Amino acid sequence: MSWISDSIRAFFRKGDLLLLGLCLTASGFGLVLIYSATRYLDSNRNLLVQCAAIALGVVIYIFLSSVDIELFTEKSWKLLLVFNVGFNLLVRTPLRVESDTGNDSWIRIPGFPVNLQPGEIVKLSFVLLLAWQMAKLQEKGISRPASVVQLGGHTLFMFALLTWASGDFGMGLTYLLIFVVMAWAGGVKKRWFALGLAACVVGVVLVWPRISDMYFARRITVVIDHITGNPDTIYDQTQDMGWQQTRSILAIGSGGLFGQGWCKGVQTQSQFRTSLPARYTDEIFAVCGEEFGLVGCTLLLLLLACIILRCVWVARRACSPQSALIAMGYAGMLLAQVGVNVGMCLYVFPVVGLTLPFVSAGGSSIITMYAAMGIVSNIKMRSLPSWLRDRSQL
């Protein structure tokens, strides 16, 4: 018990209380939106689960602030690798929760009160393992072809595993974007990014004729048709594949500058589930736009931007390259999810089922975010003093 009390005292002395405050403020904003978006269900279950997840997330945040993450990763990297693979594969077992969208990314554990999303949770350990690998390769030269192949192979393996096991391309895309941010921060030369982008373009051109009729490919084409204003696919853009995003931009547009008022949004308060689909999960940003308007959306995005910038601030003051890469990895994770989720709601990105961090309803997402920020707080507690940091940059 003395270890616990000492850890708590150390957290309040050195832990990142500002980051925790920003996260709790974003979660509070999310609870306000979730309450409004779930009134049509006549049930408070989602709100109660969210509150419980936030409370558990805060406990995990404080706990992880006192753990030596670098030492843990060094001693347990093999265990992390097994966990990353094994936990994702659980969606191919009888624990899987069946879905009619082709996205089977959830599992149900008997006796556990809520479903879990392995791909969401594994993001934590993926960043830890990738940062450890990058730090090792930096000693030999991170831009060497052998180093880039190892890092790219690790990431592509996880992307392929996740998308094959669950069909969750959106979550797999997050892994790729995390890698891009970490590789850039880790010093990988720009020519490798140009080469990777060229390879992606060539790959899409070669495989597109074979996948153009697939469900997710149609999600992409409907966005392209909407942006280009293709008149031949109006029905698909508004009533079929683009239905969810059409309802979303209508909700955001109807909010105007200050919104229609809390619990007064026409689509948000509609009793029809199809009025604004996924309104308390994927499309919660549309709820913010309809009920709080442009001002509310701007404040929410500024709040999330502050959390991301705080992670970058911690990374710049980290005591080691590995810690800096971890903080940048979690900053990249947040940036990717915010960008993709808002892009979905604005009809400039395909619907891929990514939540808005700290705001959307979802226990796995909330716990993962608080755990990630707890690790960032841990890095802040072990940051270099200013005088030593200045000397290290000479």
Task: Give the pLDDT of residue 369.
Answer: 95
Q: From CA 74, how far away is CA 380, in angstroms rounded? A: 19
Q: According to the model, what pLDDT value does residue 100 have?
A: 58
Cα–Cα distance for residue pair 131/182, rounded to 1 Å: 8
* Res 387: pLDDT: 45
Q: How many CB atoms lie within 10 A of CB 138?
A: 17
Tokens 């406990």 found at? 59
Contact 134, 151 (CB under 8 A): yes
pLDDT for position 81: 92
**Secondary structure class of 174 (helix, strand, coil):** helix
Is 294 buried (19+), middle (13-18) or exposed (0-12) by CB count in 10 A?
middle
- 130 and 154 Cβ atoms separated by less than 8 Å: yes
Region 373-382: mean pLDDT is: 91
* pLDDT for residue 203 is more than 50: yes
Query: Which whole number is the average pLDDT over 277-298?
Result: 92
pTM of the model: 0.92
Q: 3-class DSSP state for residue 96?
A: strand
Q: Scanning the structure block, which residue is given the tokens 């709820």?
A: 287
In the predicted model, is pLDDT for residue 393 greater than 50?
no
pLDDT at 181 over 90: yes
Q: How many CB atoms lie within 10 A of CB 46?
A: 18
Q: How far apart are CA 89 and CA 96, in angstroms?
A: 10
Distances, alpha carbon 19 to alpha carbons 304, 323, 363, 370, in Å: 11, 17, 20, 10
Residues, the chain: 394
Of 154, 209, 366, 372, the residue nearest 280 (C-alpha): 366
DSSP for residue 41 = G
From CA 75, how far away is CA 181, in angstroms rounded?
25
Whole-number percent of the chain with pLDDT over 90: 45
Asked whether the predicted pLDDT for residue 86 surpasses 70, the reply is yes
Mean pLDDT score of the chain: 86
pLDDT > 80? residue 390? no
* For residue 10, pLDDT beyond 80: no
For 88, residues 6+ apart whose C-beta sits below 8 A from its C-beta are 118, 119, 122, 158, 161, 162, 165, 166
Report residue 76 CA to chain centroid gap: 24
Which residues in 359-382 are b (16+ Cβ under 10 Å) and which e?
A: bbbbbbbbbbbbbbbbbbbbbbbb
Cα distance between residue 18 and residue 391, in whole Å: 27
Q: Please, which pLDDT band fits residue 65 given cuts at 50, 70 and 90?
A: confident
* pLDDT 10s digits, 298-352: 999 999 999 999 999 999 988 889 999 999 999 999 999 999 999 999 988 888 8
Cβ–Cβ under 8 Å, residues 133 and 148:
no
Mean pLDDT in residue range 277-285: 89
Instruction: Confirm if 347 and 245 have CB atoms less than 8 A apart.
Output: yes
**Distance in angstroms (rounded) separating the CA atoms of residues 313 and 315:** 5
Both tokens of 368, joined, read 């993962």
pLDDT at 111: 73
pLDDT band at 7; cut points 50, 70, 90: low
Helices (H) and strands (E) in the chain, counts: 15, 0
Task: Measure CA 329 to chain center.
Answer: 11
Of 221, 347, 366, the C-alpha closest to 289 is 347
Q: Are 349 and 249 in contact (CB under 8 A)?
A: no
Beta-carbon-side half-sphere exposure of residue 294 (alpha carbons within 13 Å): 3
| Position 101 pLDDT exceeds 70 | no
Residue 394 has pLDDT above 60, yes or no: no
pLDDT, residue 391, reads 41
Q: pLDDT: is 21 or 170 the higher one?
A: 21
Can you name the residues that pair with 96 across neighbouring β-strands?
107
Collect all residues with Cβ–Cβ distance below 8 Å to 249 and sequence separation of at least 6.
Answer: 286, 345, 346, 347
Q: List, for residues 187-202, the tens digit of each pLDDT value.
A: 899 899 899 889 888 8
The per-residue pLDDT for range 115-160, each reduced to its tens digit, is: 788 888 999 999 999 999 999 998 888 889 999 999 999 999 999 9
Question: For residue 308, what pLDDT is reported?
Answer: 97
